[in-house]
Amino acid sequence: MRIAAARVIVTCPGRNFVTLKIVTDEGVTGVGDATLNGREQAVAAYLAEHVVPVLLGRDPARIEDTWQALYKGAYWRRGPVTMSAIAAVDTALWDIKGKVAGLPVYQLLGGRCREGVTVYGHAAAETLDDLLTDVARLTDAGYRAVRVQTAVPGLRGTYGVSADPRTYEPAGSALPAEAVWSTPRYLAHVPGVLARVRAEFGPELRLLHDAHHRLTPIEAAALGRDLEPYRLTWLEDPVPAELQEGYRLIRGHTTTPLAVGEVFNSIWDCRRLITEQLIDYIRTSVVHAGGISHLRRIFDLASLYHVRSGSHGATDLSPVCLAAALHVDLSIPNFGLQEYMPHTAETDAVFPHGYRFADGYLHPSEEPGLGVDIDEELAARYPYRPASLPLNRLEDGTLHSW
C-alpha cells in the first residue's frame, strides 16, 4: 500500500479549521487536524508546500519513520506550525492503520484502561448568579468536572466569558481586538467566586480554573494559596511557561494542583516541569504536540512522575483532534481529565464522527480507525475567514499576555 494523495482542506463552519486527508492507492483514507487558532493558513501552506510532496508514494504503515522524517528532515525542528503539520500526518496515518487492522485506534495503543473518558465542561458568566446557573446546567447534564471562569468587575473582555456560555470563540475579528487586564482586580475577585461555587455544589464536584498565562510566579503562588480551601482539581496556565523554572516558585508556596501545556509543541517544552514534578497535569494536545505518537511519548514520561494527562479540547481544536484524543485518553495509564467544549451543529455536520457523550464521559467510536471524517463537499461551502486572537493590555496600556 502507498500514499496516493493528500489534500489540505481549509473550511470555516463558524470558525476556521485545517484538515489533512490522506488517501492510499487502495482507497483507504485517514484524517488529521492541523488547526492552529489565528495562524491556520501558515500550517495549511506548510502542509501543502513542504509535507504533501514528501508523503506521496510512502508506505502509510510506517508511522514512526514518517514522523522522524518530517521532524528531523525539516532541519528547523519544533514550534507550533511544524508540530501541528506533523500532528496532522501522524493522526491520519493512525486512522489508516486502524482501518487496515479493522480496529479502533485505542486497541492499537494497548486497549482500554477505563470504561469512559471523564471530561470537564466550561461554565462562565458575567455575574455570580449566572455562573451558578451555568455550573448547574453542566452538573444536570452529568458533568463530573467543571471549569469555572468569570468576568472581573471593572474589566472589559475577560478571558473565557462570552454572551452565550455555550459557545466561546476568542478569534472573532480579522485583526486582533484589544482587551483590558488588571491582575490586582482579578486576584481580589476570583477566590470569592470559587468559594461560592464550592459552597453551592459541595465537595465532590471537580472544579478547575484557567488563569490563562496572566500572572507572575509569585502572584500565582498567592492565588494558589488563596484557592487551597476550595480544593481545585487544577489551576491552569497560571504563568507563561517559557521559563519552566518559574514553576518552582509557585510549587514552593501552594498545594493547589497545577496544569499546563496547551501551548506546548514537544516533550522538550515540558521535560523539566514533569521530571521536577512542578506540575500535576500535562495538557498537551494531539494537534499541537506532534500527533498521537509524540503525545504518547509525553504522557509516558509524565506517568513516571505522577503527572496525569489533561488534554486541551477547546472548540478551535477540531472534531478530528477530539476523536483522536479520546483514543489516547482511553488507553494511557495516567489519564486525568479531557477538556470538552462541544462544537456547533454546523461544525459537527462537516466532521461526521462516532464519539458520544454520556453521563459525564466521552466514548470514542468503536469503528476501525479514529471514527471521524470530513465531508469535503459540505466543507467547501464554508470558505476561510481571516480571524485573529485578541491582544491584552494593562490599564496603563502595557502589552500583557492574553
Catalytic machinery residues = 159, 212
What's the CA gap between 339 and 314, in Å, rounded?
Answer: 7
What's the CA gap between 245 and 263, in Å, rounded?
Answer: 17
* Residue whose CB is less far from ligand CS2, 219 or 237: 237
Q: Which three cell numbers stand for residue 4?
A: 496516493
Q: Are 340 and 357 in contact (CB under 8 A)?
A: yes
What's the CA gap between 370 and 148, in Å, rounded?
Answer: 30
The binding site for ligand CS2 (CB under 6 A) comprises 37, 170, 210, 212, 262, 312, 314, 316, 339, 389
Q: Which three cell numbers stand for residue 137?
A: 446546567
Q: Are strands 206-210 and 308-309 parallel, antiparallel or unpaired?
A: unpaired
**What is the nearest approach in angstroms of ligand CS2 to the Cβ of residue 316?**
4
* Residue whose CB is less far from ligand CS2, 96 or 295: 295
Alpha-carbon distances of 188 from 194, 228, 277, rounded to whole Å: 12, 15, 29
**What is the nearest approach in angstroms of ligand CS2 to the Cβ of residue 240?**
12
**What is the nearest approach in angstroms of ligand CS2 to the Cβ of residue 93?**
25
* Binding at 316: pick from ligand CS2, Mg ion, none (beta carbon under 5-8 Å per type): ligand CS2
* Among candidate residues 95, 162, 151, the one with its CA nearest the CA of residue 320: 95
Q: Using N-to-C axis directions, what is the helix angle for 291-303 and 319-331, rounded to 10°?
A: 40
* Binding flag, residue 316, Mg ion (CB under 5 A): no
> What's the maximum distance between 2 C-alpha atoms anywhere in the chain?
61
* Binding at 37: pick from ligand CS2, Mg ion, none (beta carbon under 5-8 Å per type): ligand CS2
DSSP annotation string for 104-150: BHHHHTT--SSSSEEEEEEEEESSHHHHHHHHHHHHHTT-SEEEEEE
Reported in sequence order, the residue ranges of 165-302 that DSSP labels E, i.e. its strands, are: 178-181, 206-210, 234-236, 258-260, 281-282
* Binding at 209: pick from Mg ion, ligand CS2, none (beta carbon under 5-8 Å per type): none
The closest residue (CB) to Mg ion is: 210
* Binding at 261: pick from Mg ion, ligand CS2, none (beta carbon under 5-8 Å per type): none
**What is the nearest approach in angstroms of ligand CS2 to the Cβ of residue 236?**
6
> By CB under 5 A, how many residues form the interface with Mg ion?
1
* Residue whose CB is less far from Mg ion, 236 or 373: 236
* Residue whose CB is less far from Mg ion, 95 or 210: 210
* Residue whose CB is less far from ligand CS2, 100 or 357: 357
**What is the nearest approach in angstroms of ligand CS2 to the Cβ of residue 323?**
17
* Binding at 1: pick from Mg ion, ligand CS2, none (beta carbon under 5-8 Å per type): none
**What is the nearest approach in angstroms of Mg ion to the Cβ of residue 284?**
12
* Binding at 314: pick from Mg ion, ligand CS2, none (beta carbon under 5-8 Å per type): ligand CS2
* Residue whose CB is less far from Mg ion, 95 or 237: 237
- Out of 33, 40, 210, 373, the only residue in the binding site for Mg ion (CB under 5 A) is 210
CB atoms within 10 A of CB 247: 23
Q: Pattern of binders to Mg ion over 95-124, x per CB under 5 A?
A: ------------------------------
Reported in sequence order, the residue ranges of 220-285 that DSSP labels E, i.e. its strands, are: 234-236, 258-260, 281-282
Q: Which three cell numbers stand for residue 226?
A: 488563596
Tell me which residues touch Mg ion (CB under 5 A): 210
